[in-house]
Structure 1
Amino acid sequence: MERNLPLCIVLALLVPFSTLSLVNAEVTDISTDKQALLALKARISHDPSNLLANNWSTTTSVCSWTGITCAGRHHRVTALNISNLALTGTLPPQLGNLSFLATLVIKNNSFYGSFPEELAHLHRLKYLSFGFNRLSGGLPENIFYNLPNLEFFSLPFNMLQGKLPSALSKCKKLQILSLSFNYFTGVIPKEIRILTQLKRLLLNNNKLQGMI
């Protein structure tokens, strides 16, 4: 004899599956990446070759845009490389929404303004290169607590200042640290010595003091 389950039990069984579907939809949705990149495009005031102006179009797939690499099971943006394009602009906080990003390279441009604290959200980030720009201000201490996979961190030839964050020591996988030709001051953090994977440390042409 068949028995009908009460409605409340049926709903209880269905809710977890519907929630899982919603979560999966959010994970595989690349629209978040698209909006973050469009926010970056909107912050660029000079694009002499009109490369991003013409190529980063809302009518085409993000994964086909210049400088963008998509990969992984969810086919999300894993690399952003817009180096050597003579771009002028600032870095938007929305870059922190590129949650699958492993490589972030904007070297040899004219980006100015502060280093976005929101990059602390990029937990998968391994490679960051912002050298040869005009970034100013200090390095936010908190970001280094949240970048456990960071291996390459390069910011030479900018206008950064302030003290070097001791939290750099939290990036246990760091192999290259290049901060030359900036305006950093104060004592070199002794905590850097615990970075056992470090292969190259470039701090020259700053106003640092002390011994490593």
Structure 2
Amino acid sequence: MQSLSLLHVATLAMEKFHHLSPLGLVLLCFLSASFAVFPSNITTDKSSLLALRAHISVDPLQILAKNWSVGSSVCEWIGVICGSRHHRVTALNIANLGLVGIIPPQLGNLSFLVSLDMSANNFHGELPHEFVGLRRLKLFNLSVNNLEGELPWWIGSFPQLLRLSLSNNSFIGLIPSSISNMSKLEEISLSYNLLQGNIPTGIFNISSLQLMRLTGNGLSGTIPSDMCHHLRGLSLLALSQNKLNGQLPSSLGLSLSCS
């Protein structure tokens, strides 16, 4: 309430001193905007998860409907883990609950989230752009849903990400080249979507990569002949049921592994 009153004061000041110089008006505008921006907290996390609950149309086990109560601590909710240091939501695991719904943009406000697993449900619609704010993510698993649309460019905006799994959905279009920006990535699974075009060559330069599953798409082009030079730790490469051409690098061997 205090923050709102400060913002109100700033606004009144702008109205009262409309005759100020342009520089003075700019300073007042900056002051007003500054009052409107405050750090998020556990209340923000709770509101974000309640927004998710509100976008669930089917909850067969009634876990979110009954356990995610407004009157209880978000850190006590099933599927939610909070960090001991900042007391913020660090993990959300609601996999395999038979949930039907869409993913609301408010989930992008879970700025301390490290692990997100919503796999094996029936979420549909597109990924919200607001996910770009989840910079701490190490696990991102939305596999086995009915998500659609193109894979967004920001999918490569998670500098700490280790595991990315979006398999068994209905994504279309190209694999964004931005994925190659995730230098710590160990596992990537985009199997059984409707992806097309070439595999971005940058993916074959992620030296930390161990598992790459791209089976069951419409991918085309060739595989770099020197891929094992960069992917020395790659233990599994799954590329079947695509439209790739040429020969696989001889360094892969029969096991389709560089390691």
TM-score bin (small chain): 0.7 to 0.9
* TM-score, normalised relative to structure 1: 0.85
Identical aligned pairs, as a percentage? 48
- Structure 1 residue 26: Cα displacement: 3.7
**Using CA pairs below 8 Å that are at least 6 residues apart, which structure has the higher relative contact order?**
1
Give the 5 Å matches for 1:186-205. Answer: 186-205=197-216
Alignment match of 2:193 (pick from 173, 179, 182): 182
Q: Deviations over 1:21-61 (max 9, x none)?
A: x9xx946x300100100110010000011110000000000
- Structure 1 residue 102: Cα displacement: 0.3
* TM-score, normalised relative to structure 2: 0.70
Aligned to 2:159: 148
Q: Secondary structure at the match of 2:171?
A: strand
Q: Secondary structure at the match of 2:112?
A: coil
Aligned pairs, how many?
187
Aligned to 2:71: 59
Letter in 2 for 1:80: L
Letter in 1 for 2:134: L
Give the 5 Å matches for 1:99-178. Answer: 99-144=111-156, 146-178=157-189
CA–CA distance in structure 1, aligned partners of residues 132 and 55 of structure 2: 20
* Contiguous gaps of at least 5 residues in structure 1: 1-21
* Contiguous gaps of at least 5 residues in structure 2: 1-34, 224-259
CA–CA distance in structure 2, aligned partners of residues 197 and 210 of structure 1: 23
Aligned to 1:49: 61
Given the alignment of the two structures, is residue 86 of structure 1 paired with residue 76 of structure 2, yes or no?
no
- Structure 1 residue 110: Cα displacement: 0.4
Contact kept? 2:155, 2:176, Cα under 8 Å: no
CA–CA distance in structure 1, aligned partners of residues 154 and 69 of structure 2: 34
Contact kept? 1:90, 1:111, Cα under 8 Å: yes
- Structure 1 residue 115: Cα displacement: 1.3
CA–CA distance in structure 1, aligned partners of residues 186 and 103 of structure 2: 25
Letter in 2 for 1:157: N
Kindly report the root-mean-square deviation, in angstroms, between the aligned alpha carbons of the 2 structures.
1.4
Q: Deviations over 1:103-146 (max 9, x none)?
A: 000011000000122111011000011111000001110341x3
- Structure 1 residue 84: Cα displacement: 0.8
CA–CA distance in structure 2, aligned partners of residues 84 and 143 of structure 1: 23
Aligned to 1:7: none
Q: Secondary structure at the match of 2:91?
A: strand
Contact kept? 1:117, 1:143, Cα under 8 Å: no
Stretches of 4+ moved more than 4 A in 1? none
Alignment match of 1:69 (pick from 55, 67, 81): 81
- Structure 1 residue 165: Cα displacement: 0.2
Contact kept? 1:137, 1:159, Cα under 8 Å: yes
CA–CA distance in structure 1, aligned partners of residues 123 and 222 of structure 2: 32
CA–CA distance in structure 2, aligned partners of residues 107 and 83 of structure 1: 5
- Structure 1 residue 211: Cα displacement: 2.1
- Structure 1 residue 150: Cα displacement: 0.6
Q: Secondary structure at the match of 1:108?
A: coil
Letter in 1 for 2:179: L
CA–CA distance in structure 2, aligned partners of residues 72 and 119 of structure 1: 23
CA–CA distance in structure 2, aligned partners of residues 147 and 91 of structure 1: 19
Aligned to 1:3: none
